[in-house]
């Protein structure tokens, strides 16, 4: 197990980690149309093919493990760092005429944000054309998603059904100084988490004793955990696999940006595996005691649902770590808009880079320490010792 002092990346590695976050979170992606992100992962894997093995299922979920990894008898169960590759976005369903298209919106955004919204659509070669929403229709029997009619700024003959569109924003950038720097970008959810997973695993994969740690990237999370449910039921992952699902969750005053990555104990649907969640919390608590620069939070985060719920429902031990997120699903001033404020404006999502680096450190901590903890850290054993120590109060 590496010394915990080696878990904090040096300045060169941190710059590289930030570059990965900028690149990944800038890629257009949508549920079922994650191929640009998949291509990025393929390039990442190609440079590491001597040390890694990988497999995609029919859905497009990607499992990455150490090459020639042999599970020792009695060794730890697989530990999979998991993130999804889609983000709420538009997918063209019909070309109406040279300057008009219809598109599905695959994800969750409140209706006012679509009013006269500025969009950009990309063809298969990444040629782009701007557009503006002129009509919004609710889901119906023919389509389970909201549908928009978009008027394009010009004709792009290569645009076709299945191409992806998104809100039109300036390029991603890092702003601020020191520990208060912010990444503002198209899609933190969940590509910032995917970037953290790649960066942490790049360090984990070279260490002895952590061969059981792998990556799982899922698809179509934003439309109902479609990929995760497939991975949970089609044999892609071992039945005893433990899943640490990564998310970007809406920040609230009690879960602030710059407060550190969050051990998420549950969402609006359920609570996660208590043993795994508590073990990770114990590791973080001990690490923070001896490393004062390490910040972390433990919160319920009931504002949405995450893949840990899906995996738990299918019998897997799972929990969630998340980054506190601003402009959740690209919605500025959500509460005010729900209360009636107009106009509603979309904006780039944003996270604290200190939280992002903290999540990478947290993942390395889990990989190195989760299966080498002294049994004295087990909650049941601690409670039994506590009873033995204080049972005298029951004596008559």
Q: Beta strands of the chain (E only): which ranges?
A: 52-56, 62-66, 79-84, 89-97, 100-106, 118-122, 128-137, 146-152, 164-167, 173-175, 182-185, 213-218, 242-250, 262-264, 297-299, 317-325, 349-352
Q: How far is CA 6 from CA 2, 196, 197, 358, 360, in A?
A: 7, 17, 18, 13, 12
Residue 271 has pLDDT above 90, yes or no: yes
Residue 374 is predicted with a pLDDT of: 56
pLDDT digits (tens, 9 = 90+) for 353-377: 999 999 999 999 999 999 986 555 5
Question: Which is more confident, 373 or 228?
Answer: 228
Query: What average pLDDT does the structure give for the chain?
Result: 94
Using a 10 angstrom Cβ sphere, with 0-12 exposed, 13-18 middle and 19 or more buried, the burial of residue 383 is: exposed
pLDDT digits (tens, 9 = 90+) for 53-65: 999 999 999 999 9
Tokens representing 216 are 């799982």
In angstroms, the CA 336 to CA 90 distance is 24
pLDDT digits (tens, 9 = 90+) for 277-315: 999 999 999 999 999 999 999 999 988 899 999 999 999
* For residues 120-145, average pLDDT: 97
Residue 366 is predicted with a pLDDT of: 98
- Residue carrying structure tokens 């040279």: 98
Question: Which is more confident, 69 or 107?
Answer: 107
pTM attached to this predicted model: 0.94
Residue 372 is predicted with a pLDDT of: 80
The Cβ of residue 136 has, within 10 Å, a number of other Cβ atoms equal to: 16
- Partners of residue 185 on adjacent β-strands: 349
- All structural domains of the chain, each given as residue ranges with its CATH number in brackets, are 4-85+174-379 (3.40.630.10), 89-167 (2.40.30)
Residue 70 is predicted with a pLDDT of: 72
Weakest-pLDDT range from 64-68, 109-113, 274-278, 359-363: 64-68
- Partners of residue 63 on adjacent β-strands: 55, 216
Residue 22 has pLDDT above 80, yes or no: yes
- Pick the closest to residue 274 from 309, 317, 322 (CA basis): 317
């Amino acid at each position: 197990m590496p010394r915990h002092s080696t878990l904090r990346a040096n300045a060169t590695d941190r710059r590289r980690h930030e570059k990965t976050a900028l690149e990944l979170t800038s890629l257009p992606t949508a549920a079922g149309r994650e191929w640009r992100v998949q291509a990025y992962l393929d390039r990442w894997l190609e440079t590491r093919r001597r040390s890694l093995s990988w497999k995609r299922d029919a859905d497009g979920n990607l499992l990455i493990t150490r090459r020639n990894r042999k599970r020792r008898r009695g060794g730890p169960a697989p530990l999979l760092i998991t993130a999804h590759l889609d983000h709420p976005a538009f997918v063209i369903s019909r070309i109406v005429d040279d300057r008009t298209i219809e598109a599905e919106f695959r994800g969750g955004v409140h209706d006012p944000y679509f009013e006269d919204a500025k969009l950009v659509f990309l063809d298969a070669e990444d040629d782009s054309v701007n557009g503006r929403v002129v009509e919004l229709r609710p889901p119906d029997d023919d389509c389970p998603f909201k549908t928009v009619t978009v008027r394009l700024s010009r004709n792009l003959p290569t645009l076709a059904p299945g191409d992806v569109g998104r809100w039109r924003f300036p390029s991603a950038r890092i702003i601020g100084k020191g520990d208060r720097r912010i990444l503002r970008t198209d899609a933190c959810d969940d590509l910032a988490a995917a970037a953290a997973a790649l960066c942490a695993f790049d360090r984990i994969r070279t260490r002895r004793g952590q061969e059981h740690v792998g990556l799982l990237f899922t698809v179509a999370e934003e439309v109902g955990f479609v990929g995760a449910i497939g991975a949970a039921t089609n044999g892609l992952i071992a039945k005893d696999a433990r899943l640490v699902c990564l998310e970007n969750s809406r920040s609230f005053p009690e879960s602030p940006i710059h407060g550190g990555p969050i051990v998420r104990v549950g969402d609006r649907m359920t609570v996660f595996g208590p043993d795994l969640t508590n073990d990770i919390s114990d590791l973080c608590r001990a690490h923070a005691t001896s490393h004062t620069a390490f910040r972390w939070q433990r919160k319920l985060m009931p504002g949405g649902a995450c893949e840990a719920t899906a995996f738990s429902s299918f019998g897997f031990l799972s929990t969630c770590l998340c980054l506190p997120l601003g402009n959740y699903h690209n919605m500025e001033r959500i509460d005010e808009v729900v209360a009636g404020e107009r106009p509603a404006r979309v904006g780039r999502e944003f996270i604290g880079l200190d939280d992002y680096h903290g999540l990478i450190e947290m993942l390395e901590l889990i990989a190195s320490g989760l299966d080498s903890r002294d049994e004295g850290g087990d909650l049941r054993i601690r409670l039994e010792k506590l009873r033995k120590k204080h049972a005298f109060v029951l004596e008559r």
